[in-house]
Chains A and B, each alone.
Chain A
Amino acid sequence: MTELTKLTIAEALTGLEKKDFSAVELTQAHIDMMEKARHLNAFITETPDLALTQAAASDQRRADGQAGALDGIPLAIKDLFCTKGVRTTASSHMLENFTPTYESTVTEKLFADGAVMLGKTALDEFAMGSSNTTSYFGNVINPWRRDSDPATDLVPGGSSGGSAAALAARLCMGSTGTDTGGSIRQPASFCGVVGIKPTYGRCSRWGIVSFASSLDQAGMFARTIEDSALLLKSASGFDPKDSTSAQKDVPDWPTMLESGVKGRKIGVPKEYNVDGMPAEISKLWQRGIDWLKEAGAEIVDVSLPHTKYALPTYYIIAPAEASSNLARYDGVRYGLRVEGEDLTDTYEKTRAAGFGEEVKRRIMIGTYVLSAGYYDAYYIKAQKIRRLILQDFEKAFEQCDALLTPTAPSSAFAIGENEDDPIKMYLNDVFTVPASLAGLPGLSVPAGLSENGLPLGLQVIGKAWDEQTVLQVGRAIEQAASFTAMPQLNMQKAA
């Protein structure tokens, strides 16, 4: 049965259709893998019974000729998506016992197409982090290990680290993520899988626990570009319940992947060549440029002059929106309550006990930059620079169809590294944050291994609403890279 966990989604759909195996068998194979890989701590809540019930219903639909686009495909869902009747924690003590009475739009769409839910994956608390070390439910371990130092546990990246780790370890066939500043693309790079964040507004935010509403965007993890396109197509589309959901048709991405990049213009932004970038990342980037050139693309040098201001801009806007969004956790309507002497004391005790350190830090920053006397100097200033960053991209896209950059400035690091200085941790997102601020689609595709045997991703950034080109360029890199490496200690118990 283990072979079933090595299939792509596209292959599994063919196998299900040909009756080579059933959805129940496919789901059971993944449940077995989840049990063997519990040491990775990728799931906060496993839902094997629900999965098998959904799989049996899927087999029935297929027998009746009613199968949907993803019918019988077992997925893992980031524990930031509300799932009706299944605990949704956001990896926070605050929501440890929160069981939604409604379904998020994205998961509802996936289930409507027949997808099966294996469980809810761990993340950084409220999606704030780049390492999965801020979860109330413990660290997630990356299934990949350094060749030279296989005993050290590495982070899967974050915030959607559980979703990326579960997929890399073959515990699921695809998974959902959310990306606010890089939370899909960076873990995809660290775990050797494909991760796509579509244009802001493409997937509904309804039913996703909010972090920074003008940046939050749902997206998908899969092991191939084709699978990513299948999942993204299912999850996308207009939703009247999300005020910033776009009224746009969803293209049939899975059928558009093989057009190649011949004659397409690929921009290479010089400002992404940051100080101190490891040589292996520069080399990977150059290899990606060469691959696209060989595939017939034209490489164009472009400039995004405000790139260096993206991270500080993000660390004003995201905490400001977070401080406002997280004000809802008051110990009254849902979530944790710690009784105090009066209402204010109850708020303060509840929020002191319910939030972890990183979340408190960001709420404090956000509260400060929004407070009287600082609002213009910090928050409005950051919003102005956000416009300059968007204009940089608009100008660059007058010269090219898509941009190619590294996804992250390093491969996966050890648990505990980068913890001493918040800025060091924030620098993980230096290449992903600018596209988030501009709302642009971005994708990370595995492109090679580091000297230490760890996966490295390349990022493709596209024009707003042009996921099609992003996926096509991603497909060209996927073909050239032919990344087939697997996590080396996939099933070995942690020491």
Chain B
Amino acid sequence: MSLDIDTVRKVARLARIGMNDEELTLYQEKLNTIMGFVEQLGEVDTDHVAPLPSPVDITLRLRDDEVSDGNYASDVLANAPEQAESFYVVPKVVE
């Protein structure tokens, strides 16, 4: 199967990457090459196989539910493009 231009536009939107029509066409071609390549996975019978999300058998650990870190707002904000009074500043989201 191949991705039509509307699907590519939708994916770009979901990924929050701005693209003009020319770029969408370019990406459509490359994405279809890659999706064509992965299509061969359909040959493999996986009916009774469980998905493997992580390669190594590591059980996630639990730690005590207590504060172990924090209280350095200036470090957290040090790389913010815009900040004010210990807050990130974003464009207006509520009219």
Contacts and interface: CB of A to CB of B under 8 A. Distances in A.
A99 B78 contact: yes
Contacts of B49: 384-385, 387-388
Contacts of B67: none
A309 interface: yes
B17 to A, nearest CB: 5
Contacts of B72: 101
A30 interface: no
Contacts of B51: 380, 383-384, 386-387
Contacts of B18: 345, 348-349, 351-352
Nearest to B95: A342
B17 A355 contact: yes
A124 B57 CA distance: 30
Q: How large is the interface on B (under 10, 10 to 19, 20 to 34, 35 or more residues)?
A: 35 or more
Among B19, B63, B78, B90, max chain A CB count under 10 A is at B90
A368 B11 contact: yes
A352 B16 CA distance: 8
Interface residues of A, number: 76
Interface stretch (A39-47, A57-65, A277-285, A327-335): A327-335
Interface of A: 97-102, 199-201, 214-215, 240, 243-246, 306, 308-309, 311-313, 315-316, 323, 327, 330-337, 339-349, 351-352, 355, 360-361, 363-365, 367-368, 371, 378, 380-388, 390, 421-423, 426, 437-440, 464
Closest A-B pairs by Cβ, 8 of them:
A439-B55, A383-B51, A348-B18, A334-B79, A337-B81, A387-B52, A352-B18, A384-B46
27 contacts: A102-B75, A243-B60, A243-B61, A309-B44, A311-B37, A315-B38, A316-B41, A333-B79, A334-B79, A337-B82, A339-B91, A342-B91, A344-B16, A347-B16, A352-B19, A364-B27, A365-B34, A368-B7, A381-B46, A383-B51, A384-B46, A386-B51, A386-B52, A423-B34, A423-B37, A426-B37, A439-B56
